Amino acid sequence: MPKQKTHSGAKKRFKLTGSGKVMKQGAGLRHHLETKSGKKKRELGVDRVLAPADAKVIKKLLGK
């Protein structure tokens, strides 16, 4: 049986921490930035931990 390939879209969007958590970029930082406050933009720039149920699917796509 051939090896499972890593999902190219998932490896661009998610990263795994050393403890096995899945991190993602906060949504809402692509457009309409003039109307958002600086504080809001800084908060959105921080990576977020994915929910455990979603992380299970993403880990499978990443081959972990």
The predicted-structure confidence for 15-44, as pLDDT tens digits, reads as follows 999 999 999 998 999 999 999 999 999 999
Q: What is the pLDDT of residue 3?
A: 85
CA–CA dist 46, 5 (Å, integer): 29
- Is the entire prediction scored with pTM above 0.75? yes
Q: What is the pLDDT of residue 64?
A: 87
Instruction: Enumerate the domain spans of the chain.
Output: 8-61
Percent of the chain with pLDDT over 70: 100
Q: What is the pLDDT of residue 49?
A: 96
Q: What is the pLDDT of residue 36?
A: 96
Question: Measured in whole angstroms, how far is the alpha carbon of residue 16 from the centre of its chain?
Answer: 9
Question: How would you classify the pairing of strands 48-49 and 14-16?
Answer: unpaired
Query: What Rg value do the Cα atoms of the chain yield, rounded?
Result: 15
Q: What is the pLDDT of residue 2?
A: 87
Determine the topology of domain 8-61 in CATH.
Factor Xa Inhibitor (4.10.410)
CA–CA dist 38, 34 (Å, integer): 9
